[in-house]
Amino acid sequence: MGRLHGARGRLAALLLDTAAAGAEAKLTGESLAELVWTGPESVVSHSRDTAVVVRELFAAATRSVLVSTFTIQDGRHIFAPLAARLDECPDLKTSFFVHAGRVWRDTREDSEILREFADDLARQWPGCRRPEVFYNPRTLSVDEEVRASWHAKCVIVDDEISFVTSANFTEWAQQRNVEAGVLVRSAHFTRQLRAQFDMLVQSRAVIHLPGF
């Protein structure tokens, strides 16, 4: 009986969330979701380009930016609009959630791996003010039964708009690979997504990267 009540409760919550999102869409008069794509386009495609969307989101931020990704390469170019915005706006808060992981057969101390990762990220950062950076300690576990990857890839801006994507923050993923994503203009959904990250910080499931 308990399981049945639990399932009914989850269904009720899902229906409420769906109704709230639908009501929000009607109030704003906008489509809540928009396709974002990297790679060859269909002749009937109405998608937007990944790199363009990322630049626009960074440049438009006024209060907060959250970035979550597995891999960062060519950060000086990709994050230039965000770094400029961060240097312009003293009140803008920026947080990154990254994969600072141990590769197979790497037996170095956690501190050495983290220092190498932080040094590389610092070299790639194009601005003066740095983002706050978090990582999941499980990515460094020497136990392969415990070790995990930080694979979530998304951007949250001002707690109002979200971009969820398969693309990493690399030149290949932003401009050359075939990648699919969705731009969601919904404060309701964005708050839900942001709450997931906030919970991980509060529970210390993710912790600060030294140097950031």
The 10s digit of each residue's pLDDT in 82-108 is 999 999 999 999 999 999 999 888 999
What mean pLDDT, rounded, does the chain reach?
Answer: 89
**10: pLDDT strictly greater than 60:** no
Task: Give the least confident one: 46-55, 65-74, 110-119, 132-141.
Answer: 46-55
Provide the pLDDT for residue 14: 47
**41: pLDDT strictly greater than 50:** yes
How large is the average pLDDT for residues 163-180? 95
Residues with Cβ within 8 Å of 137's Cβ and at least 6 positions away in sequence, in order, are 110, 206, 207
Provide the pLDDT for residue 48: 87
Within 10 angstroms of residue 201's Cβ, the number of other Cβ atoms is: 15
Determine the distance from the C-alpha atom of residue 152 to the mean position of all C-alpha atoms in its chain, rounded to a whole number: 6
Provide the pLDDT for residue 15: 46
Provide the pLDDT for residue 104: 87
Residues with Cβ within 8 Å of 75's Cβ and at least 6 positions away in sequence, in order, are 121, 124, 125, 126, 169
pLDDT per residue over 114-157, tens digit each? 999 999 999 999 999 999 999 999 999 999 899 999 999 999 99
**43: pLDDT strictly greater than 70:** no
184, 164 contact by CB (below 8 A) = yes
As a whole number of angstroms, the distance between CA 75 and CA 65 comes to: 16
Please give the full DSSP string across 46-97, using - where no structure is assigned: --EEHHHHHHHHHHH-SSEEEEE-S-B-SHHHHTHHHHHHHHH-TT-EEEEE
Provide the pLDDT for residue 5: 58
**1: pLDDT strictly greater than 60:** no
Provide the pLDDT for residue 28: 53
* Alpha-carbon distances, residue 4 vs 7, 16, 131, 167 (angstroms): 5, 18, 44, 38
**191: pLDDT strictly greater than 70:** yes
**46: pLDDT strictly greater than 90:** no
Q: pTM for the full model?
A: 0.84
What pLDDT band is residue 66 in, cutting at 50, 70 and 90?
very high
